[in-house]
Amino acid sequence: MPSPQSQQPCEVEVTFTVNGAPRSLRLDTRTTLLDALREHLHLTGSKKGCDHGQCGACTVIVAGRRINSCLTLAVMHDGDAITTIEGLGTPEKLHPLQAAFVRHDGFQCGYCTPGQICSAKAMLDEIAAGIPSHVTTDLSGPLWPSAAELRERMSGNICRCAAYPNIIAAIAEVAADDAAQAA
């Protein structure tokens, strides 16, 4: 067991860019990126589900990559560019994934939805970048967003309402639109 500690809380300055805007905070070193976003910057779109990296509700995009914001310290992201659900779309101008989730009923309670959508956005970028997955048959062949690929790649986002079929339908529609535009 760790020895008893008398160490005092330690605060540090952290500066990063959130949804395009530079933000500076003075934070206890123990503050996770998720708590910095929610409790300090009041960007409450990112959700705290399990707080242990198991549910994906806290998923945000850092330097283009989706990560669990509950499993990383804010102080480790000094200088980084962070995108949350608030940076993807607005009620007036929904991101295509947001609009597709509405169209396909990709949620019931909605708690996991911001994480699902941030995850899906970065996940489609991962496919576009040629990053393989567990269900990719040919590791050297081209990739496309089949339903099997989408399901496997979204397994880090849990939906307790089990809206999975509609979530996959929403993401598949956006992926198909992206493919059509690229063609």
Separation CA 46–CA 120 (nearest Å): 14
For residue 85 the two structure tokens come to: 């659900």
Within 7-36, which residues bind other proteins (CB under 8 A)? 7-10, 12, 28-30, 32
> Which stretch, 90-98, 106-114, 130-138, 168-176, contacts other proteins (CB under 8 A)?
130-138
| Position among 23, 40, 48, 151 found at the interface with other proteins (CB under 8 A) | 151
> What per-residue string of b and e applies to 38-52 under the rule 16 or more CB within 10 Å gives b?
beebebebbbbbeee
Residue 102 as a binder of other proteins (CB under 8 A): the answer is: no
Separation CA 116–CA 61 (nearest Å): 12
Judge contact between 109 and 47, C-beta under 8 A: no
Residue 160 as a binder of other proteins (CB under 8 A): the answer is: no
**DSSP output for 79-121:** T-EEE-HHHH--SSS--HHHHHHHHTT--SS-TTHHHHHHHHH
| Position among 22, 140, 142, 180 found at the interface with other proteins (CB under 8 A) | 140
Q: What 3-state DSSP class applies to 67?
A: strand
> Which stretch, 41-49, 68-76, 84-92, 173-181, contacts other proteins (CB under 8 A)?
68-76
Residue 146 as a binder of other proteins (CB under 8 A): the answer is: no
Separation CA 153–CA 155 (nearest Å): 6
Of 66 and 95, which CB lies nearer to other proteins in the complex structure? 66
Of 93 and 134, which CB lies nearer to other proteins in the complex structure? 134
Of 103 and 160, which CB lies nearer to other proteins in the complex structure? 160
Residue 75 as a binder of other proteins (CB under 8 A): the answer is: yes
Which residue shows structure tokens 């589900």?
49
> Which chain residues interact with other proteins by CB under 8 A?
1-2, 5, 7-10, 12, 28-30, 32, 51-53, 56, 59, 65-68, 71-73, 75-76, 78, 119, 122-123, 126, 129-134, 136, 139-140, 151-157
